[in-house]
A and B are shown apart, each in its own frame.
Chain A
Amino acid sequence: MHSFSRDFALAALFWLLLMTQYCSGAEPNSQFLDGLVLLSAQSFTEKEKGIELIGASQDPLAARTLQSLLDGKLFYTSKDNILVYGESEGANYAISDFLSGESLGLVKKRNLEKITINNTLRSTLKTTIALINLQHPDDTVRLAAVNAVLSDINPELLEILAGCYQTEKNEQVRDALSVALAIGGLRQQDTAKRLEALQSVRGDVHPVIKNEIQALIDRETDAIVIKAAKSTLTAIEGKIAWFARLETLFFGLSLGSVLVLAAIGLAITFGVIGVINMAHGELIMLGAYTTYVLQQLMPDSIGLALALSVPAAFGVSGLAGILIERSVIRFLYGRPLETLLATFGISLVLQQTVRSIFSPLNRSVATPDWMSGSITINPILSLTSNRVTIFFFAMLVFGALFLLLKKSSLGLNVRAVAQNRAMARAMGIRAARVDALTFGLGSGIAGIAGVALSQLTNVGPNLGQAYIIDSFMVVVFGGVGNLWGTLLGGLSLGVANKFLEPWSGAVLAKIIILVFIILFIQKRPQGLFPQKGRAAE
């Protein structure tokens, strides 16, 4: 615990230092400097006061100061108490004098005293920055600022926002501001104005509006306004429910696309050459680890590493697949039970190998910026970027594979061997080679699935086990040996799962789906799309 006098002496010292630091250009704004001094205090309440002072200081550096503080980039040097801006560079920090911007070189983390913040400060900071940013020249910054202050509206803020509305030119920002104005309208004394405001927010799905109307219904005494409010609320809720269903559909398609990716390699190895490959999950895992290794090799370009991982993972898992086929599976064709046991053994071997090389701990695979965050459609519907990307990626992989099987000579050979091995051999196709290539192809696709999964789930030795059951489920449900079946099977299982989840819970939803598939297979053993003709034997 610091004694008061010591704190006071420290504060005075900081003030002096800051005065000397704040040299070039404008007159030092004393409110701003006072605020900076308070930031160096231990207690979070003092810091909060400091943030408020800086926010109100009108100093040109205010917004940058607060943003740096929010990003955790403001430090004091341990030795001479200089306020610096630090950017981490490996184990060290590149620091520069915060007020003058002069670079002070690289220092060890130990020599810096970080200005720590907690969640309360974080939200104070966000609101304060948003208030400053309401005047920002950039449209998107202004829009974000308006949205940030909306959730916590008070009379003074309403006045400011009404002022902004008068001068605002950008359409989107005006829309956001009109939400604030409508909230102001709902709080008016005049009944006619409240009714008018209710009319204007009809169909606006912003959650703030919904809560405001709910609050209005609770406190309102005028029967006409209550009736209007209730009808508006019903309209808004209807619209929200509609968007919620749309969101669930997206979730389902996204889950489905992951299932398709995981299963499509199996659809080839299991579906086309009939091998029950229990090591399929581990081939997915190998793909995910390939991504990890590539990211370790090029830590500065995560996105590029991810893109390169797609062919690399295809290569690694594909080769592993060919190796497994040549060394084990080819001796076991026509003996499904032995294949099952042997590949199960291989899966354990692969898991333990990875555990020995990379340790049993999960590895961290970074997500490039363009795959983080979400695409906002409206205040209640936003689609997460990584899921959207993976959905399209899955479709792309499916399309490429489909073309490969239908249009290339390898595809022709694969289909020929699958349909009638003896006849294909009689026509001069080297069946053994085709088997190896097909198995390699299926394994390679599993590797590609691993790249996608590394962005969604943990990269660890057990990654594969989590997906092997799902993969078999999709292939069996879709119909063995049919790519369209896998696509449709995967997507419909995903969507069904997500529509079940809200009312049954995640655990029960999985069980229900499993029971459904068991019943479905009883009724229709060939799956959704049975193979027709002689090949079906």
Chain B
Amino acid sequence: MKFTSSAIVAIWTVALSLGLSSSVLAADTIKVGILHSLSGTMAISETTLKDTMLMLIEEQNKKGGLLGKKLEAVVVDPASNWPLFAEKAKELIEKEKVAATFGCWTSVSRKSVLPVFEEQNSLLFYPVQYEGEESSRNVFYTGAAPNQQAIPAVDYLMKEIKVERWVLAGTDYVYPRTTNKILEAYLKLKGVAVDDIMINYTPFGHSDWQSIVSDIKKFGSAGKKTAVVSTINGDANVPFYKELGNQGITADTIPVVAFSVGEEELSGIDTKPLVGHLAAWNYFMSVKSEANDAFIESWLKFIKNQDRVTNDPMEAHYIGFNMWVKAVEKAGTTDPDAVQDAIIGVAVPNLTGGYSAMMPNHHITKPVLIGEIQEDGQFEVVWETAGLVVGDDWSDYLEGSKDLISDWRKPLYCGAYNVVTAKCSGTK
């Protein structure tokens, strides 16, 4: 009895002192929110990004932190559940009082947290390629907009591979649908006939590709060079490529260029049937540059597994985090309004050997690379844009958005400014 009561006292003392010390600590740290799913379907991709952020924060702290304070990562798990993303975002901002948040993967999760960040006036860095048609004061889009991935890929196929017939295949949700709408408009603008475009959508996790691949094969046997532009998402790609291989479609007959297949996705599968198929990204692990070598080395050390790979969204977080750090240093505070003003024009090294800059539309400049899949699951760069490409928020090829621009500098300060009517239709 005596023992238990003294134990209770001891626990209380420890708990109290812990509580005290953590509140003391909190004053000396800057909190950074990490909003990535650690369970559910998206855990596959998002867990890696959480680890990347932890690594970047750890490295920054080794360099002495930020504004003389240590950075503290606050990790929450929105569990691949879109409404939960909004709740967790609120928790990060209101309860944890984070200075900035790095997170989200799917467009629907970004759309779900968008009102929260705008209402609370907090900052979100979004690291994944997306469909564009959006620009928020509170969001920084460090992944590729369609003109930084899809359009250059189509250009490559058209000019280098001389493709005349196009299959636009995608998973049935907002990113592929919008991207394909942009691509369709672009192809028509380039004089491709309606008969030479085939559009196909499949549900998430589709596994029976027999008839679709057979249709693609028939579509491609019309004597014109054919390519597949794939916005097929996630693991549905594996049975898709398998079926292509089994039905005898190889990369030199009908190449597939994918926008959602990176090193991480390839690491779980048998890449033999995929060799030669293409992917368009702004970064490949195989890119030779000093920054990239250093990044890969510290990643492998941090994650304690020599077999892990790096990928494009990780680079986006690397760029976004460094931009935020630089902007905070420039502003001398983590106040969201001050950082927003400071970050526009900030340029930091990317991992492909150049610099990326934050543009006034909250998108960044990136090189676009086309890589061919190799047998070891890596990409061999076969083509890249001559210079950096500025992310285009409102597509120039869609009827409703081609007159819109966004500029978050004063005096325009608008997310959707119509240059024809000179009116701001977006959020101020």
What is A's interface to B at a CB cutoff of 8 Å?
44, 72, 116, 118-120, 122-123, 126, 207-208, 211, 214-215, 244, 247-248, 251, 254-255, 258, 355, 360-364, 366-367, 372-374, 380, 382, 384-387, 456-458, 460, 462, 466, 498, 501-502, 505-507, 510
Contacts and interface: CB of A to CB of B under 8 A. Distances in A.
A384 B247 contact: yes
Contact of A360 (B44, B203, B246, B275): B44
Contact of A386 (B212, B246, B275): B246
Contacts of B207: 456-458, 466
A-B CB proximity, top 9 nearest: A211-B223, A207-B221, A457-B207, A123-B252, A122-B252, A384-B246, A362-B268, A251-B210, A458-B235
Q: Which of B211, B214, B243, B278 has the most CB of A within 10 A?
A: B211
Contacts of A510: 203
B19 interface: no
Contacts of B382: 44, 118-119
B353 to A, nearest CB: 14
A462 B236 CA distance: 12
Contacts of B161: 119-120
A462 B246 contact: no
A380 B219 CA distance: 12
A384 B238 CA distance: 16
Contacts of A505: 200-201
B211 A498 contact: yes
A247 B214 contact: yes
B91 interface: no
B337 interface: no
Nearest to A124: B252
Contacts of B47: 360
A462 B39 CA distance: 11
Contacts of B248: 373-374, 382
Contacts of B64: none
Contacts of A457: 207, 238-239
6 contacts: A119-B278, A211-B222, A255-B210, A258-B208, A372-B245, A506-B212
Nearest to A215: B223
Given A215-B223, A366-B270, A466 B251 contact: no
Contact of B238 (A248, A362, A386): A362
Contacts of A387: 210
Nearest to B271: A364
Interface of B: 39, 41, 43-44, 47, 160-161, 172, 200-203, 205-208, 210-212, 214-215, 218, 221-223, 235, 238-239, 242-243, 245-248, 250-253, 255, 267-270, 273, 275-276, 278, 372, 374-375, 380, 382
A273 B281 CA distance: 53
Nearest to A70: B252
A254 B252 CA distance: 28
A361 B267 contact: yes
Nearest to B212: A506
A254 B202 CA distance: 18
Nearest to B235: A458
A219 to B, nearest CB: 13
A119 B228 CA distance: 14
Contacts of A364: 268-270
Contacts of A374: 246-248
Contact of A255 (B208, B215, B270, B375): B208
B38 to A, nearest CB: 9
B275 to A, nearest CB: 7
Given A118-B276, A118-B380, A386-B246, 18 more contacts: A44-B382, A72-B375, A119-B251, A122-B250, A207-B221, A248-B211, A361-B44, A362-B238, A380-B221, A384-B210, A384-B247, A385-B246, A456-B208, A466-B205, A502-B215, A506-B203, A506-B206, A507-B202
A44 B161 CA distance: 13
Given A72-B375, A372-B245, A384-B210, A363 B268 contact: yes
Contact of B235 (A120, A208, A362): A362
Q: Which of A367, A374, A458 has the most CB of B within 10 A?
A: A458
Contacts, number: 125
Nearest to B161: A119
Contacts of A255: 208, 210
Contacts of B375: 72
Given A258-B208, A362-B235, A506 B269 contact: no
B43 A360 contact: yes
A460 B252 CA distance: 31
Q: Which of B200, B267, B268, B273 has the most CB of A within 10 A?
A: B268
A507 B214 CA distance: 17
B372 A361 contact: no
Given A215-B223, A248-B211, A119 B246 contact: no
Contacts of B203: 506-507, 510
Contact of A382 (B247, B253, B275): B247
A501 B238 contact: no
Contact of A72 (B160, B246, B250, B275): B275
A458 B238 contact: yes
Contacts of B255: 119
Contacts of B269: 362, 364
Q: Which of B41, B214, B269, B382 has the most CB of A within 10 A?
A: B214
Q: Which of A248, A254, A380, A456 has the most CB of B within 10 A?
A: A456
A507 B201 contact: yes
Nearest to B47: A360
Contacts of B218: 244, 380
Nearest to A384: B246
Nearest to A381: B214
Given A215-B223, A360-B47, A384-B243, A462 B205 contact: yes
A506 B243 CA distance: 16
Given A251-B211, A387-B210, A457-B239, A119 B252 contact: yes
A1 to B, nearest CB: 14
Contact of A373 (B208, B246, B278): B246
Contacts of A361: 44, 267-268
Nearest to B199: A505
A119 B249 CA distance: 13
A369 B290 CA distance: 41
A118 B243 contact: no
A119 B372 contact: yes
Contacts of A122: 250-252, 276
B46 to A, nearest CB: 10
A50 B252 CA distance: 19
A98 B205 CA distance: 45
A89 to B, nearest CB: 14
A362 B251 CA distance: 24
Nearest to B41: A462
Contact of B172 (A254, A360, A507): A507
Contacts of B214: 247, 251
A465 to B, nearest CB: 9
Contacts of B253: 123
A142 B184 CA distance: 41
